[in-house]
């Protein structure tokens, strides 16, 4: 047997994984039914194509690190609708990556879609509601799928929907629209949100747009947009109004059509606030417990029934606001004994905590690295005071680790509290207060709170300009973040106003070959492609 990307290995992969049967082939690679000889269990093995994997040992090492980081973040999604990634193996030639995953027996959602045989409304809604449930757990982490599409959604034999390839888009960076020498975009363009087409920042609302595309396709049997070229489809995602579902299929309920159009709004922040809102708006169209299918709602013959799980309650987890505040959000002004001199034993324990945390960071074990610092922060605060410099430094390092590890929900309140503490102890314009406010803004951007993030970043930049140069490292990073966030929000003209002078400054101060110079140059190229202008 052969894969499309080359010959199947004669020996088990990594000495344990055997490839038995090819299940399907996709743009990034082929999926095989496999067997784990060590744990005596069936597995799925995704063979990632050569062009998706780094072509040199140095780049391959970076690729492997990125996989490990994203796989660990993805592993935090504790939901049966998310098949787990067990392992990743790069072959000796650094040409192929084998992703070993949980094997799910089911039918791809793409097999349900046919322009002449649209799905019953109850089936389409049941699939969308289950996907929303899975996304509610993912966005809590937060993990953004970035490549949600029918080919990544599987309906298991019991009717349970499984969302595949969480984290794979981030690992392979397929969410970033790059152009080849021929101008061909890379990515699943039929489901790309406008901010992805622009190469901007993704957020949970990016997944909501893709869910809208999937719902439109399930209910109408056709893609949201079609054209003679990928570029024109991407142009339509940015500029064209979707065709309302009732024009294509009059039996679609008005409220359902309105939900799909809401999901498909161009600006991320104009879409539903979160996936829980989407689920609540789908609920009226779901079957009640004990309800039997109505005539004509049988769905495709022999296909698993996704409405079955709603015969019993099946709802997403509660919003974060319904739970107790994170431990990292403790008010530093809380009553703690007055500051004291640093005892020798405590000094040693703090040094040991830093060393242990740093060692864990080297292995990219972010959760454990943050926990090690948490264990010393409380006794240090009791002994020295909540706003002692050593205590604030420990908390800042912990928040930075949480940010680095993708735990934005934990890092955000901690950076907010730290910014206020540093403002009290060192002044509102102190370097530490500025840095924490900027990091809090970056967390907000990652969580989809773009308006608040932009306001905060601009506020910090205004302060930096009063105390330092406009081309200082701090100012440059802030200008870059503001421009990229504007671009992601579809404000291309505003982004150009920020990024064009930044690029000029970077070329003069750091040179055109500098990594940041090249990044800003790529963004300007995207703007100058004039995706917001007239189609040609």
* Structure-block tokens of residue 210: 């893709």
**474 falls within a domain:** no
Contact predicate 30/24, CB 8 Å? yes
pTM of the model: 0.76
What is the number of H-type helices and E-type strands within the chain? 18, 10
Residue 118: band (very low, low, confident or very high) from pLDDT cuts 50, 70, 90: confident
Is residue 271 domain-shared with residue 349, that is, in the same domain?
no
**74 falls within a domain:** yes
pLDDT, one tens digit per residue, over 82-107 is 988 888 887 776 677 788 988 988 88
Q: Which long-range contacts (CB under 8 A, 24 or more apart) does 226-232 make?
A: 230/184, 230/185, 230/189, 231/183, 231/185, 232/535
The Cα–Cα gap between 399 and 385 comes to 19
Where a domain ends, among 82, 101, 120? 101
- Give percent of the chain with pLDDT exceeding 70: 84
Mean pLDDT of 106-119: 87
Candidate from 35-39, 121-125, 182-186, 286-290 with smallest mean pLDDT:
182-186
Residue 111: band (very low, low, confident or very high) from pLDDT cuts 50, 70, 90: confident
Mean pLDDT of 6-10: 64
Mean pLDDT of 325-352: 57
pLDDT at 365: 86
Question: What phi and psi, each to the nearest 5 degrees, are found at residue 88?
Answer: -140, 135
Angle at 422 between CA 417 and CA 423, to 5 degrees: 95
**146 falls within a domain:** yes
Mean pLDDT of 201-208: 93
pLDDT, one tens digit per residue, over 370-406 is 999 999 999 999 889 889 999 999 999 999 999 999 9
Residue 180: band (very low, low, confident or very high) from pLDDT cuts 50, 70, 90: very low
Mean pLDDT of 199-205: 89
Angle at 440 between CA 436 and CA 442, to 5 degrees: 115
Is residue 281 domain-shared with residue 202, that is, in the same domain?
yes
Using left for φ > 0, alpha for ψ between -120 and 50, and beta otherwise, residue 421 falls in alpha
Is residue 303 domain-shared with residue 404, that is, in the same domain?
no
- Mean of all residue pLDDT scores within the chain: 84
Domains: count for the chain: 3
CA dihedral of 320, 326, 328, 331, whole degrees rounded to 10: 100
Contact predicate 194/237, CB 8 Å? yes
pLDDT at 186: 38
Is residue 233 domain-shared with residue 132, that is, in the same domain?
yes
Where a domain ends, among 264, 289, 313? 313
Where a domain ends, among 101, 136, 162? 101
CATH of the domain at 211: 1.10.510.10
**216 falls within a domain:** yes
pLDDT at 325: 37
Candidate from 342-346, 498-502, 522-526 with smallest mean pLDDT:
342-346
The Cα–Cα gap between 505 and 271 comes to 36
pLDDT, one tens digit per residue, over 427-477 is 888 999 999 999 999 999 999 999 999 999 999 999 999 888 888 999 999
Radius of gyration of the chain (CA): 25
The Cα–Cα gap between 160 and 305 comes to 8
The Cα–Cα gap between 378 and 375 comes to 7
Candidate from 46-55, 95-104, 275-284 with smallest mean pLDDT:
46-55
Residue 192 has pLDDT above 60, yes or no: yes
Is residue 338 domain-shared with residue 303, that is, in the same domain?
no
Helix (H, G, I), strand (E, B) or coil at 96: coil
Return the half-sphere exposure (C-beta side, CA atoms, 13 A cut-off) of residue 485.
25
Choose the catalytic residue: 30, 36, 147, 481. Answer: 147
Mark 391-412 as b/e (b = at least 16 C-beta within 10 Å): bbebbbbbbbbbbebbbbbbbb
Residue 226: band (very low, low, confident or very high) from pLDDT cuts 50, 70, 90: very high
Q: Which of 280, 145, 163 is nearest to 203 (CA)?
A: 145
Residue 416 has pLDDT above 90, yes or no: yes
Contact predicate 144/77, CB 8 Å? no
**381 falls within a domain:** yes
The DSSP code for 327 is G
pLDDT at 47: 86
Residue 53: band (very low, low, confident or very high) from pLDDT cuts 50, 70, 90: low
Is residue 207 domain-shared with residue 243, that is, in the same domain?
yes
pLDDT, one tens digit per residue, over 62-78 is 777 776 776 777 778 88
* Structure-block tokens of residue 466: 């009063």
Asked about 147 being catalytic, the answer comes back as yes
* Structure-block tokens of residue 75: 């592993």
Residue 342: band (very low, low, confident or very high) from pLDDT cuts 50, 70, 90: low
* Strand partners of residue 530: none
Is residue 280 domain-shared with residue 306, that is, in the same domain?
yes
Residue 4 has pLDDT above 60, yes or no: no
Residue 169: band (very low, low, confident or very high) from pLDDT cuts 50, 70, 90: low
* Structure-block tokens of residue 185: 């975009």
Is residue 97 domain-shared with residue 127, that is, in the same domain?
no
Is residue 352 domain-shared with residue 279, that is, in the same domain?
no
**208 falls within a domain:** yes
Mark 421-444 as b/e (b = at least 16 C-beta within 10 Å): bbbeeeeeebebbbbbbbbbbbbb
Q: Which of 484, 488, 430 is nearest to 457 (CA)?
A: 484
pLDDT at 184: 37
Longest CA span, the chain: 78
- Domain with 357, as residue range(s), is 324-424+436-443
């Amino acid at each position: 047997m052969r894969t499309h990307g080359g010959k199947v290995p004669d020996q088990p992969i990594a000495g344990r994984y055997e490839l038995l049967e090819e299940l399907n082939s996709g743009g990034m690679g082929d999926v095989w039914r496999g067997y784990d000889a060590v744990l005596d269990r069936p597995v799925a093995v995704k063979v990632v194509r050569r062009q998706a994997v780094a072509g040199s040992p140095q780049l391959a090492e970076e690729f492997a690190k990125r996989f490990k980081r994203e796989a660990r973040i993805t592993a935090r999604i504790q939901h049966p609708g998310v098949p787990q990634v067990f392992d990743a193996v790069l072959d000796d030639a650094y040409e192929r990556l084998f992703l070993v995953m949980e094997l799910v027996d089911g039918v791809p959602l793409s097999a349900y879609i046919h322009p002449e045989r649209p799905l019953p409304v109850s089936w389409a809604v049941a699939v969308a509601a289950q996907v929303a449930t899975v996304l509610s757990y993912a966005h809590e982490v937060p993990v953004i799928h970035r490549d949600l599409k029918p080919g990544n959604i599987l309906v298991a034999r019991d009717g349970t929907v499984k969302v595949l390839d969480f984290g794979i888009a981030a690992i392979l960076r397929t969410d970033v629209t790059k152009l080849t020498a021929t101008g061909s975009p890379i990515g699943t363009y039929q489901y790309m949100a406008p901010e992805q087409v622009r190469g901007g920042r993704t957020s949970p609302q990016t997944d909501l747009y893709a869910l809208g595309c999937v719902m439109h396709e399930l209910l109408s049997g056709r893609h949201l947009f079609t054209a003679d070229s990928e570029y024109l489809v991407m142009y339509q995602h940015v500029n064209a109004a979707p065709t309302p579902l009732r024009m294509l299929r009059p039996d679609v309920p008005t409220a359902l059509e309105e939900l799909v159009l809401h999901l498909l709004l161009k600006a991320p922040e104009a879409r539903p606030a979160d996936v829980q809102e989407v689920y609540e708006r789908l609920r009226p169209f779901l079957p009640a417990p004990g309800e039997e299918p109505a005539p004509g709602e049988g769905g495709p013959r022999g296909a698993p029934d996704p409405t079955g799980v709603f015969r019993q309650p099946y709802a997403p987890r509660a919003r974060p606001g319904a739970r107790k505040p994170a431990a990292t959000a403790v008010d530093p002004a809380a009553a703690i004994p007055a500051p004291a001199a640093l005892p020798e034993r405590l000094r040693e324990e703090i040094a040991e905590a830093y060393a242990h945390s740093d060692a864990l960071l080297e292995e990219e074990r972010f959760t454990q690295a943050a926990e090690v610092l948490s264990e010393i922060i409380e006794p240090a605060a009791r002994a020295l005071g909540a706003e002692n410099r050593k205590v604030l430094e420990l908390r800042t390092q912990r928040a930075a680790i949480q940010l680095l590890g993708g735990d934005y929900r934990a890092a955000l309140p901690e950076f907010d509290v730290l910014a206020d503490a540093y403002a009290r102890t060192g002044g509102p314009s102190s370097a530490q207060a500025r840095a924490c406010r900027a990091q809090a803004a970056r967390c907000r951007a990652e969580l989809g709170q773009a308006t608040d993030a932009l306001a905060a970043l601009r506020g910090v930049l205004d302060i930096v300009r009063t105390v330092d140069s406009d081309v200082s490292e701090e100012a440059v990073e802030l200008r870059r973040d503001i421009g990229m966030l504007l671009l992601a929000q579809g404000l291309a003209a505003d982004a150009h106003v920020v990024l064009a002078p930044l690029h000029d400054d970077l070329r003069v101060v750091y040179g055109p070959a500098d990594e940041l110079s090249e990044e800003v140059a790529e963004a300007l190229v995207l703007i100058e492609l004039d995706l917001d202008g007239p189609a040609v």
